[in-house]
Amino acid sequence: MSFPISEASPVRFAATLPPRADVVVVGGGVIGVMTAWFLRERGLSVVVCEKGRIAGEQSGRNWGWVRQQGRDPGELPIMVESLSIWKRLAAEMGDGLGFRQTGVLYLAKTEREIEGFEAWTEHARAHQLDTRLLTAAETMAMLKGAAAPWKGGLFTASDARAEPWVAVPALAAAAAEKGVVIRESCAVRGLDLAAGRVAGVVTEAGRVACDQVVVAAGAWSRLFLGQHGICIPQLSVLASVAATEPMPEIFPGNAADDDFAFRRRADGGYSIAPGARHDFFIGRDSFASFGVYLPVLKKDFRSTNFRLAAPKGFPDAWGTPRRWALDVTSPFERQRILNPAPNMATLAETQDSFARAFPSLGRPRLKTAWAGMIDSLPDVVPIVDRAPIPGLIIATGMSGHGFGIGPGMGRVIADMVAGRPSGHDMSRFRLSRFSDGSPIRPGPSL
């Protein structure tokens, strides 16, 4: 399989759609796949419809971190569970996921960052994590040949990594073996409603009757839900990533500061990315959501490159329709996979930052580069909740954290669908927080 996964990638999942299922999942990223996995374990019949390819968008384009460290306190209990599930899946499936517990290391250049690290250790202690606050000397000792003036670090040895574009399709294949019906290149155009509640979905390949629908459509969720009168303040940011040629090992796990982030790869190179830089396309939805995003903009303004317009066909492009009939081609069919060009200028800065931090290695040579669109919300925390339409569940806005938390969140969503207790406090993820006057507070800036 070529990387990144694109419309040219062969269809691997082409199951025939049944006339009826208990649940239809919209979206074949890690959240959709793992939700279907656990729904099937609970004895429900489930269909996953993916307009492009499994893991074709951000679930296959992310950094590949499986981290507890730095999580919002509301996410952390689910992430602890998720890591446990990752370990079980790796034991069952072998090396096919690329899963390794090699640790996550955050690097601090300022005393203010150290204070933020120290504050977050309270959450680590509450969940018995093996997180340690490191001195400058301890930090430098962990990184071979490092020369950057870091004042300290935060390290969680039990955190892990996996290879996203390999792992998610592998999990999908295992879910299909369990009886999950997965259909790629099959857009869901919209919900079929009867008496105000979910009665099915209308896909480009026909209707599937069902009692419940899970919308896990990533960057496309706002557009899909808006068609049915549900407005969520979701926007998307472009994140650029590159894979280097093989290099000597400087650290076996994942590490980041504000200038760059890296993850050791199985091929001997590193995945590298800007530590905090991303690009944002200004579209119609961004104007509508300006007010609610002010807190996070104030916190993160200088790390954002603003662009005037999204490429044609993107969810928030000016020309993308916001309404369409269900018997005609939808925006989801016109743009099967979001495949934005990476910001090579930003990646060049990342190469320079890496070279300054590790001068003995020199400037890393890039083997390939790519970008993905991260579905984000104003407080950088997802919506996982029942919608105002009976039978509809929203699971979106993972804000770049979805790959690691995917298995745990999939379990939670499946139990929500099945009417079982989630085992976690889900109030942080409620949809109503954007309309009930609650203060919008971004999560930890780690």
Tens digit of pLDDT for each residue in 303-358?
788 888 889 999 999 999 999 999 999 999 999 999 999 999 999 999 999 999 99
- Please give the share of the chain, as a percent, with pLDDT higher than 90: 88
What band does 277 get if pLDDT is binned at 50, 70 and 90?
confident
pLDDT for 109 = 95
User: Above 60 in pLDDT, residue 1?
Assistant: no
The 10s digit of each residue's pLDDT in 216-254 is 999 999 999 999 999 999 999 999 999 999 999 999 999
Instruction: Give CA separation, 341 vs 75, 240, 337, 346, in Å.
Output: 31, 8, 13, 12
The values of phi and psi at residue 293, to 5°, are -90, -5
Phi/psi-derived region of residue 98, left when phi > 0, alpha when psi is between -120 and 50, beta in every other case? left
State the pLDDT at residue 158.
Answer: 98
CA distance 190 to 16: 19
Asked if the model's pLDDT at residue 124 lies above 90, the reply is yes
The pLDDT mean for the chain works out to 95
Enumerate the β-bridge partners of residue 240: 371
Are residues 416 and 31 in contact, defined by beta-carbon separation less than 8 angstroms?
A: no
Q: How far apart are CA 161 and CA 65, in angstroms?
A: 5
CA-CA distance, 204 to 329, in Å (whole number)?
8
CA-closest candidate to residue 105, choices 41, 148, 73, 62: 148
Looking at residue 300, its pLDDT comes to 64
Helices 76-93 and 402-418 cross at an angle (nearest 10°) of 100
362-379 per-position pLDDT tens digit: 999 999 999 999 999 999
CA distances from 96 to 40, 80, 392, 393 (A): 22, 22, 33, 31
pLDDT over 80 (residue 140): yes
The pLDDT value given to residue 275: 87
Among 39-48, 104-113, 288-297, the minimum mean pLDDT is found in 288-297
Is pLDDT of 443 > 80?
A: no
User: Distance between CA 21 and CA 40 in Å, rounded?
Assistant: 11
| Helices 164-177, 30-41: crossing angle, 10 deg rounding | 20
CA angle 406, 15, 33 (to 5 degrees): 5
In this predicted structure, what is the pLDDT of residue 2?
Answer: 59
Does pLDDT of 301 surpass 80?
no
pLDDT digits (tens, 9 = 90+) for 11-68: 999 999 999 999 999 999 999 999 999 999 999 999 999 999 999 999 999 999 999 9
Residue 246 pLDDT = 96
pLDDT at 298 over 70: no
